[in-house]
Amino acid sequence: MGFYTELGIYSKLHIFYIGILRGFHDSMASGPGDTSIRKIQSTGGGTFTLSLPKQWVISQHLKTSNSIKIDWRPSGALRLTPLEQEKQSLRTISLDLGHLPDESLFDHLMGAYIAGADVIRIRHNSQEKRKISQQIRRFLRATRGFELYVEEDQLFELHCLLNTGDMPITSSLNRMYLQLSSSVRDILSVFEGDDPTFLDDLEERENEVDSLLHLIERQVRLLIDNYSIATKLNMTRIQSLESGNLARSLERMMDHAVLIGKNVHEHSSALGYEENESSIKKLGEWQNSLKELMINIRIRDANRIEEARTHLKMIQNDLQDHERALFQSEKKHSWMLVELSVSESIRRLCAYARDFGESLINMNAYKGIRLDVKGVSENI
């Protein structure tokens, strides 16, 4: 599954596989995670050669005349991958319900999904079949690409039909944002007097956002482990990790948008009791700032990112003052409880949006890092 070796070499070298290591027994790498030091050999015609660790060659089932793909990384490292491994083997995880706690199947299925499993086998006692089927259906609704492939008396087998490299992470982030943004627009519309049924599908939209988050977490996990997926997605490992942070911020914002929507749906009259004091009008300002941050996933303008984060902080401060005034008010009304709940959720929306902006800044910083090696500068 994309096992690779990285060699930090900063000169143009033609590296050829020359077989079993001769000498250097004292520095031989015996397994994954080990390090060895190899000397470059010069052959006739100015060609440079470097031997490969014998144990690695054996573990990859390589022999003379097999081909190895060499990627020259921006950092100066060389990454070696046997061409045969370009065709990925299936990752399989087996779950024996006899060894799992009761009612934990769904959590283990989600763990297997995010870990990057392509096939999940579930062995069980046939008496538990109906309950297991319910958990499997719940899992299939919560994820992307998995289908029930085998259903036997004591075995379920799920297969993933989705190619991880076919769905750009930025597209999934945009879809999460669109679900969140449209939900907030509908919340504001209902607050202003539109049909409350506009909010009836908020839970479905939340489930869609959760599903996209799980997909991105799966992609990040696979991308870290397999550089070929990183190539297909056109994304570095650092970018993928920060993209995972962006997705989690969007998912948390969606959670609080749903809470606000429920309050508007169930307590709209209370929220409108003193409209000039309602915190919900801050939602529009938050939405504008988040939109600015989403635009900067692509253009990465540090000034615009920081301006949006500063504005979000101002909204947070205004809401804190508003909540403090409600607590200190001598007037006590039932609408205040709802108002406090909505205000807190909007503050959290701002906090998670600021986290979103911080991840964009981190991605910007990484993009600008340069390596200086013996006077030669190079972008990572």
Quick count: other Cβ atoms within 10 Å of Cβ 330? 4
Query: Is CATH 3.30.110 the right assignment for the domain spanning 92-160?
Result: yes
pLDDT at 335: 76
Strand 77-82 relative to strand 5-8, pairing: antiparallel
Reported pTM: 0.79
Partners of 379 in the β-ladder: 370
12-24: buried (b, 16+ CB within 10 Å) or exposed (e) per residue?
Answer: ebebebeeebeee
The pLDDT tens digits of the residues spanning 99-119 come to 888 889 999 999 999 999 999
Instruction: Round to whole Å and give the CA distance between 79 and 77.
Output: 6
Instruction: Round to whole Å and give the CA distance between 266 and 157.
Output: 43
Which residue's structure tokens are 């499997």?
136
Q: How many CA atoms lie within 13 A of 243 on its CB side?
A: 31
pLDDT at 253: 98
Q: Where are the domains of the chain?
A: 5-86, 92-160, 167-370
pLDDT at 139: 96
How far is the first Cα of the chain from the last one, in angstroms, to the nearest whole number?
Answer: 25
Instruction: Round to whole Å and give the CA distance between 53 and 43.
Output: 20
The CATH number assigned to the domain with range 167-370 reads: 1.20.58.220
Q: Provide CB contacts within 8 A for 295, sequence distance 6+.
A: 304
pLDDT at 318: 95
Q: With the C-alpha atoms ordered 177, 108, 31, 35, is the resulting torsion angle positive or negative?
A: positive
- Written as tens digits, the pLDDT of the chain (380 aa) is 443 343 333 333 333 333 333 443 445 566 777 888 888 888 777 788 888 888 888 888 888 888 888 877 666 788 888 876 655 578 899 999 888 888 899 999 999 999 999 999 999 886 778 888 999 999 999 999 999 999 988 899 999 998 888 889 999 999 999 999 999 999 999 988 888 899 999 999 999 999 999 999 999 999 988 777 888 888 888 899 999 999 999 999 999 999 999 998 887 666 654 555 678 889 999 999 999 999 999 988 999 999 999 999 999 999 999 999 888 877 667 778 888 999 999 999 999 999 999 999 999 888 766 555 544 444 44
Quick count: other Cβ atoms within 10 Å of Cβ 202? 21
The alpha-carbon radius of gyration of the chain (Å, integer) is: 27
